[in-house]
């Protein structure tokens, strides 16, 4: 009971604690630990079901081969102008240039690039915004140039839930606007990255709040132009969603959404910039494509860490976001309802079932629940693009299972020690081990069981004690009791107690023994045989021998731990049939018999006697007696050993002759 109370208490605390942890959702736990399980599931998802790629997205990359052929980065802007001319000659839907143009090169080359961008007419320039670190004070940046007005959301609506979204939206500390000549001939889109605490970029900032205006992301502007939508069809519901024509792109309160990466770097088809410049690839390959121009060479330092790679080109990250926008299949974060339900249901299952299960079924249950939840979370990610929190519900299951296992182990160890201490002095080692494996056999309290009791007492021991020195009395008594105990344990009896020179033994509990009566009779006969051996030894030593009387009775009795709880407890047997056994032992003096048993014990022996398996014993009926305190007569039988090969002989009592005894 104490084991279960401890388990229930800790399990309840675990349920409450992890539920609260799930509701609070600490950023450190989410971004340092839970995010790693998300990355694992994302990689598993791609093994199971590779997400479809938008066939219209094409990358033009300044890769390592391009640097080897054209020269080190950054290239002169006349070369970049030539590259933009090559791309636009193919007639793409939109050209997204993920390259910074914040400083002039020279008037001639800047003019060439401006002309190339203007001629293309569908260029989106990436404009880096530095977003404030979480938890740091925000400082207002300098006012942006007037040409940024055309890049801001034209329609910003309040949050449907009444949340003050501007307080939590991604805010810029600093912006790095392109040169005015470039900005006025292109569309601007902000690029703001905010990796999680572990350095992995999992989220896209869909808009940045800078001053009184909000600016859409670079990828959002590319998707808008590719969809042939004007700027007024791009609407912001602060802290809730972004509408792009008929698409509603959900965001969190901070204006972020989880990128649904399609895979590792170079998942999207790409063309080396050198191949376009050297005319090895025709610009017509880019016809009606969504083209993103950027760098992937290591020397250009635009690599990101994603769930799939630690060397992911930033431009390809933007390509993934464009694909997500057009397909409207960003990863959505669970609202924690499913996790809380999982925590409660699995907790209740474990709390109810673990105390009732043994070790291996308990392990199977716990791992089945954890495995099922893992498969469920993977299924939601694969088929519904939902990120279900795995760590907290799983940790709760693991804690409850660990607590159940530990408390069970500690309790069972304690229980084993108690059982061993309780029984090792008066039962065989085999019985002790059996009771440790099945502790219910030795449960506290009383049980009604059919048993056979044996009472043995040394005849005239008081006289013997008076005529011998105490040391001699103790020595011979210890020798006698030791020898009798060996015989009792051989026949797997429970050595109840020593009462001075008397011995009380019983069979049939705590482990059921169908042959308890036969065991008791065999034990009594061997006890007398062993005493005969001791008598011969004592006589040879010149010591006075001892004689004993043994009484046996069978019937229902109460067996269990009886005494003062926590102070003195004895595993013993009580009841009318026990008292009758004690009375029968006293009758050995009246009938000058060594072993007496009742008709109840004989009844338990009759099937084996009839079958011929109980041999070598003489059972002689003496009288039917009514012992003191009883009204029902009982047959008394004397036992003696005869030749072991001879069938047992039974002489019945005279049923008409009944003697009422008035003394013990």
What is the C-alpha to C-alpha distance for residues 640 and 659, in angstroms, rounded to an integer?
23
For residue 439, what pLDDT is reported?
58
SS3 530: helix
pLDDT tens per residue across span 224-235: 999 999 999 999
pLDDT tens per residue across span 396-452: 999 999 998 888 777 666 666 655 555 555 455 555 555 556 555 555 456 889 999
pLDDT tens per residue across span 291-329: 999 999 998 989 999 999 999 999 999 999 999 999 999
Q: In the predicted model, what is the mean pLDDT of residues 357-361?
A: 88
What is the C-alpha to C-alpha distance for residues 178 and 185, in angstroms, rounded to an integer?
11
For the cut 80, the answer to whether the pLDDT of residue 107 exceeds it is yes
SS3 540: helix
Q: Please count the CA atoms within 13 angstroms of the CA of 57 that sit on its side-chain side.
A: 25
- DSSP conformation class of 229: -
What is the C-alpha to C-alpha distance for residues 552 and 595, in angstroms, rounded to an integer?
8
SS3 15: helix
Contact 106, 303 (CB under 8 A): no
CA quadruple 342, 343, 348, 351: dihedral positive or negative? positive
CB atoms within 10 A of CB 612: 9
Phi-psi region of 396 (alpha: psi -120 to 50; beta: other; left: phi over 0): alpha
Mark out the alpha helices in 447-541 (DSSP H runs): 461-466, 470-490, 516-540
Vertex 615: Cα angle to 613 and 620 (nearest 5) = 125
Kindly report each contact of residues 522-525 with a partner whose C-beta sits within 8 Å and lies 24 or more positions away, as own/partner.
522/491, 523/454, 523/487, 523/488, 523/490, 523/491, 523/493, 524/454, 524/456, 524/550, 524/552, 524/595, 524/597, 524/639, 525/595, 525/617, 525/639, 525/641
Mark out the alpha helices in 25-106 (DSSP H runs): 27-28, 35-48, 64-70, 77-89
pLDDT tens per residue across span 554-611: 999 998 877 666 556 677 889 999 999 999 999 999 999 999 999 999 999 999 999 9
Contact 111, 81 (CB under 8 A): no
Q: Residue 296: CB partners within 8 Å, gap ≥ 6?
A: 61, 62, 63, 64, 265, 266, 270, 302, 313, 315, 316
For the cut 80, the answer to whether the pLDDT of residue 199 exceeds it is yes
What is the C-alpha to C-alpha distance for residues 266 and 194, in angstroms, rounded to an integer?
22
pLDDT confidence bin for 664, thresholds 50/70/90 = very low
Q: In the predicted model, what is the mean pLDDT of residues 366-375?
A: 96
CB atoms within 10 A of CB 209: 23
CATH number of 428-660: 3.30.70.1230
Average pLDDT, the chain: 89
What is the C-alpha to C-alpha distance for residues 626 and 662, in angstroms, rounded to an integer?
9
Vertex 102: Cα angle to 101 and 104 (nearest 5) = 80
* Residue 101 or 423, more confident: 101
* Pairing mode of beta strands 595-598, 634-641: antiparallel
- Comparing C-alpha atoms, which of 287, 397, 380 is closest to residue 56? 287
Domain(s) labelled CATH 3.30.70.1230 in the chain stretch across 428-660
What is the C-alpha to C-alpha distance for residues 417 and 204, in angstroms, rounded to an integer?
61
pLDDT tens per residue across span 208-226: 988 889 999 999 999 999 9
For the cut 70, the answer to whether the pLDDT of residue 540 exceeds it is yes
What is the C-alpha to C-alpha distance for residues 193 and 130, in angstroms, rounded to an integer?
8
- Comparing C-alpha atoms, which of 98, 75, 121, 511 is closest to residue 314? 98
* Residue 403 or 168, more confident: 403
Helix-strand-coil percent breakdown of the chain, rounded to 5? 45, 25, 30
What is the C-alpha to C-alpha distance for residues 177 and 184, in angstroms, rounded to an integer?
11
What is the C-alpha to C-alpha distance for residues 128 and 511, in angstroms, rounded to an integer?
81
Q: In the predicted model, what is the mean pLDDT of residues 476-501?
A: 91
Radius of gyration of the CA atoms of the chain, in A: 46
Phi, psi of 44 (to 5 degrees): -65, -40
What is the C-alpha to C-alpha distance for residues 636 and 587, in angstroms, rounded to an integer?
9
CB atoms within 10 A of CB 15: 20
For the cut 50, the answer to whether the pLDDT of residue 137 exceeds it is no
The predicted model scores a pTM of 0.69
pLDDT tens per residue across span 334-347: 988 999 999 999 99
For residue 467, what pLDDT is reported?
87
């Amino acid at each position: 009971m104490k084991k279960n109370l401890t388990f229930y208490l800790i399990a309840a605390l675990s349920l409450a604690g992890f539920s609260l942890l799930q509701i609070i959702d600490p950023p450190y736990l989410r971004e340092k630990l839970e995010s790693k399980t998300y990355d694992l599931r994302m990689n598993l998802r791609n093994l199971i079901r590779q997400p479809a790629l938008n066939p219209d997205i094409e990358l033009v990359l300044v890769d390592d081969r391009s640097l080897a052929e054209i020269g080190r980065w950054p290239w002169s802007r006349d070369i970049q102008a030539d590259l933009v001319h090559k791309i636009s000659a193919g007639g793409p839907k939109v050209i997204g240039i993920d390259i910074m143009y914040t400083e002039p090169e020279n008037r001639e080359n800047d003019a060439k690039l401006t002309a190339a961008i203007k001629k293309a007419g569908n260029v989106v320039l990436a404009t880096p915004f530095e977003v404030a670190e979480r938890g740091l004070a925000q400082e207002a940046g300098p006012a942006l140039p007037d040409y940024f007005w055309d890049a801001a959301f034209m329609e910003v609506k309040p949050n449907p839930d009444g949340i003050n979204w501007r307080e939590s939206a991604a805010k810029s500390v600093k912006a790095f606007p392109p040169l005015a000549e470039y900005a006025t001939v292109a569309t601007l889109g902000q690029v703001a990255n905010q990796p999680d605490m572990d350095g992995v970029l999992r989220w896209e900032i869909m808009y940045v709040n800078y001053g009184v205006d909000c600016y859409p992301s670079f990828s959002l502007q590319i998707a808008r132009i590719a969809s042939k939508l004007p700027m007024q069809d791009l609407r912001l519901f602060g802290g809730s969603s972004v509408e792009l024509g008929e698409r509603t792109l959900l965001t969190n309160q901070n204006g972020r959404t989880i990128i649904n990466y399609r895979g590792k770097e170079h998942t999207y088809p790409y063309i080396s910039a050198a191949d376009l410049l050297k005319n090895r690839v025709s610009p017509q390959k880019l016809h009606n494509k969504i083209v993103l121009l950027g760098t992937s060479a290591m020397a250009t330092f635009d690599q990101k860490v994603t769930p799939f790679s630690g060397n992911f080109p930033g431009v390809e990250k933007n390509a993934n976001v464009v694909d997500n926008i057009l397909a409207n299949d960003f990863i959505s974060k669970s609202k924690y309802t499913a996790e809380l339900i999982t925590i409660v249901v699995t907790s209740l299952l474990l709390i109810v079932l673990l105390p009732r299960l043994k070790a291996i079924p308990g392990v199977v249950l716990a791992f089945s629940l954890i495995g099922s939840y893992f498969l469920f979370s993977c299924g939601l990610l694969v088929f519904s693009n939902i990120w279900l929190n795995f760590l907290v519900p799983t940790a709760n299951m693991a804690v409850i299972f660990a607590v159940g296992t530990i408390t069970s182990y500690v309790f069972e160890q304690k229980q084993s020690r108690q059982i061993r201490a309780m029984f090792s002095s008066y039962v065989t080692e085999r019985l002790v081990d059996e009771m440790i494996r099945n502790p219910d056999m030795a449960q506290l309290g009383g049980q009604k069981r059919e048993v056979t009791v044996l009472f043995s007492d040394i005849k005239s021991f008081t006289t013997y004690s008076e005529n011998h020195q105490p040391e001699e009395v103790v020595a011979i008594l210890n020798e006698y009791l030791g020898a009798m105990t060996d015989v009792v344990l051989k026949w797997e009896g429970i050595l109840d107690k020593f009462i001075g020179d008397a011995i009380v033994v019983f069979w049939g509990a705590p482990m059921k023994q169908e042959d308890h009566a036969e065991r008791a009779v065999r034990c009594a006969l061997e006890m007398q045989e062993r005493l005969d051996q001791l008598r011969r030894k004592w006589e040879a030593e010149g010591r006075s021998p001892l004689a004993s009387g043994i009484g046996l009775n069978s019937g229902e009795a109460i067996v269990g731990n009886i005494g003062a709880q926590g102070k003195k407890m004895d595993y013993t047997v009580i009841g009318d049939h026990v008292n009758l056994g004690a009375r029968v032992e006293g009758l050995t003096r009246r009938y000058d018999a060594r072993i007496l048993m009742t008709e109840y014990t004989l009844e338990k022996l009759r099937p084996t006697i009839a079958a011929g398996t109980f041999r070598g014993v003489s059972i002689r009926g003496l009288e039917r007696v009514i012992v003191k305190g009883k009204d029902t007569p009982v047959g008394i039988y004397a036992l003696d050993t005869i030749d072991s090969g001879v069938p047992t002989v039974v002489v019945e009592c005279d049923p008409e002759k009944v003697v009422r005894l008035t003394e013990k």
